[in-house]
């Protein structure tokens, strides 16, 4: 029963936070929920016995990719009026739901890391090291990795041009 709970709590947190990512009107708030969702997926990886994949999830996705998205959001929302509107939306109540979801993840991680007898059976698995991940990633999946990199680069350049065009139209008006 505990094994199922260790999986289902982060799974429900991931689903709820992903739903909030889709339904938030403000892109900054959606990014906060995206970080919570990615952390929930990292907890699922850790509970299933893949701590290296969990670390990669946190460092690459919740770290680097979300920072890239944040820079794009900042690039598209240039101007003083958007800053004023954002300060009205940043109320202390906005942090309640992300805090509740992250607290649930924290409780699962504390339970697993405490090494309780029920928790250790959930984390049994084959340890995969960084070398094996690198060989697989840049071996048969090299084309997919390169295409994902080009897709991110194209999205960044496209958002820059959209934001630049928006600013030029605003200056003319």
Helix (H), strand (E), coil (C) string for 84-119: HHHHHHCCHHHHHHHHHHHHHHHHHHHHHHCCCHHH
Which pLDDT does position 15 carry in this prediction?
96
Q: What is the mean pLDDT of residues 3-28?
A: 89
pLDDT band at 27 (very low <50, low <70, confident <90, very high): confident
The reported pTM is 0.69
Query: What's the pLDDT band for 164 if we cut at 50, 70, 90?
Result: confident
In terms of pLDDT, which residue wins out, 151 or 170? 151
CATH 1.20.120.1200 holds for 2-125: yes
Q: How far is CA 151 from CA 60, 63, 148, in A?
A: 16, 18, 5
> What pLDDT is recorded for position 48?
82
The per-residue pLDDT for 73 is: 74
How high does pLDDT run on average in the chain? 80
Give the C-alpha separation, 47 to 7, whole Å.
7
**pLDDT top residue among 34 and 28:** 34
Instruction: Summarize pLDDT for 98-141 with one digit per residue, the tens.
Output: 999 999 999 988 888 887 555 445 556 666 777 887 888 788 98
Cα 19 to Cα 22: distance, rounded to the nearest angstrom:
5
pLDDT, tens digit, for every residue of 71-106? 777 766 655 555 555 555 566 777 888 999 999 999
- Cβ proximity of 47 and 7 under 8 Å: yes
Classify each residue of 114-127 as buried b or exposed e, where b means 16 or more C-beta atoms within 10 Å of its C-beta: eeeeebeebbeeee
The ranges assigned to domains in the chain are 2-125, 129-173
């Amino acid at each position: 029963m505990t094994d199922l709970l260790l999986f289902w709590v982060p799974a429900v947190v991931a689903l709820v936070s992903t739903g909030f990512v889709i339904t938030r009107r403000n892109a900054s708030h959606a990014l906060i929920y995206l970080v919570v969702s990615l952390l929930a997926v990292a907890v699922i990886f850790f509970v299933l016995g893949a701590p290296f994949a969990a670390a990669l999830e946190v460092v690459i996705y919740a770290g680097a990719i979300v920072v890239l998205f944040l820079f794009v959001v900042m690039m598209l929302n240039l101007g003083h009026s958007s800053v004023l509107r954002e300060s009205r939306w940043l109320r202390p109540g906005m942090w309640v739901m992300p805090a509740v979801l992250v607290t649930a993840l924290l409780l699962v991680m504390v339970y697993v890391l405490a090494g309780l007898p029920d928790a250790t059976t959930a984390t049994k698995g084959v340890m995969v090291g960084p070398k094996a991940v690198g060989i697989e990633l840049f071996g048969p999946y090299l084309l997919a990795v390169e295409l994902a990199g080009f897709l991110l680069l194209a999205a960044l350049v496209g958002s820059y041009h959209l934001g630049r065009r928006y600013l030029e139209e605003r200056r003319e008006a």
